[in-house]
């Protein structure tokens, strides 16, 4: 075998090896039982106050229950009567980390409880989420969704994705991608009205 053939073979094996290792890592993450959390989903199509349940603007947000980084239980329907910013993120997601300063600033600005920030950590390790939250001074609610069940329920195709849910439980706006500033988030908050 000459040098050209060896180089060609290496260029074919390297990407194949990377894909194989990535696939094994994802399968391991999804199938590990030590990181799986119990959840409760309510993906029915039964109306909520005469509004169909779904993940589109104008639909009632599907209810779910997840454990949090604070070792409590989060249930979305417990937040009826409050405006909710429901964000899906992961510690391994670069764009998700990019929007953290805007979330922290929003949290400081609206500490009166006029909006509940809920950041669902999805397809991630609970310990990673807890460490990241502590390291960055995040004290809003962070439910843990290691298998991505709630992400699937909400039809998440990319992270970060944020749903704005009004005090009646109706989705009023959806943003795919990171927020850059508090002003950009506040612009979306106008949909609550």
Q: Please give the tally of structural domains in the chain.
A: 2
Residue spans of the chain under pLDDT 50: 26-38, 43-47
For 1-50, the pLDDT digits (tens) are: 777 777 776 677 666 666 655 555 544 444 443 444 445 555 444 445 67
Q: What is the residue range of 11's domain?
A: 3-31
25, 74: one domain: no
Give me the pLDDT at residue 43, please.
47
Give me the pLDDT at residue 17, please.
62
119, 46: one domain: yes
Question: At CB < 8 A and 24+ separation, what contacts does 6-11 make?
Answer: none
| CATH number of the domain within which 160 lies | 3.40.30.10
The upper half-sphere exposure of residue 185, i.e. CA atoms within 13 Å in the direction of its Cβ, equals: 27
Bridge partners of 162, per DSSP, are 87, 175
- The pTM is what? 0.76
The upper half-sphere exposure of residue 106, i.e. CA atoms within 13 Å in the direction of its Cβ, equals: 24
11, 46: one domain: no
Neighbours of 77 (CB within 10 A): 14
3-state secondary structure of 119: strand
Give me the pLDDT at residue 30, please.
43
What value, to the nearest 5°, has the Cα angle with vertex 37 and ends 83 and 33?
155
20, 68: one domain: no
Determine how β-strand 73-75 pairs with β-strand 63-67: antiparallel
């Amino acid at each position: 075998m000459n040098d050209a053939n060896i180089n060609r073979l290496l260029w074919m094996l390297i990407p194949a090896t990377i894909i194989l290792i990535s696939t094994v890592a994802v399968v391991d993450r999804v199938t590990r039982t030590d990181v799986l959390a119990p959840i409760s989903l309510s993906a029915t199509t039964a109306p909520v106050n005469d509004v169909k349940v779904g993940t589109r603007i104008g639909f009632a947000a599907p209810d779910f229950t997840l454990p949090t980084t604070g070792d409590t239980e989060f249930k979305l329907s417990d937040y009826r009567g409050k405006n909710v910013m429901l964000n899906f993120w992961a510690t391994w997601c670069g764009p998700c980390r990019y929007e953290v300063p805007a979330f922290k600033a929003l949290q400081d600005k609206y500490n009166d409880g006029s909006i509940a920030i809920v950041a669902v950590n999805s397809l991630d390790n609970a310990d990673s989420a807890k460490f990241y939250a502590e390291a960055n001074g995040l004290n809003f609610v962070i439910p843990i969704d290691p298998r991505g069940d709630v992400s699937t329920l909400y039809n998440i195709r990319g992270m970060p994705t944020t749903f704005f849910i009004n005090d009646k439980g109706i989705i009023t706006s959806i943003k795919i991608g990171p927020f850059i500033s508090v002003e950009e988030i506040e612009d979306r908050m106008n949909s609550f009205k």
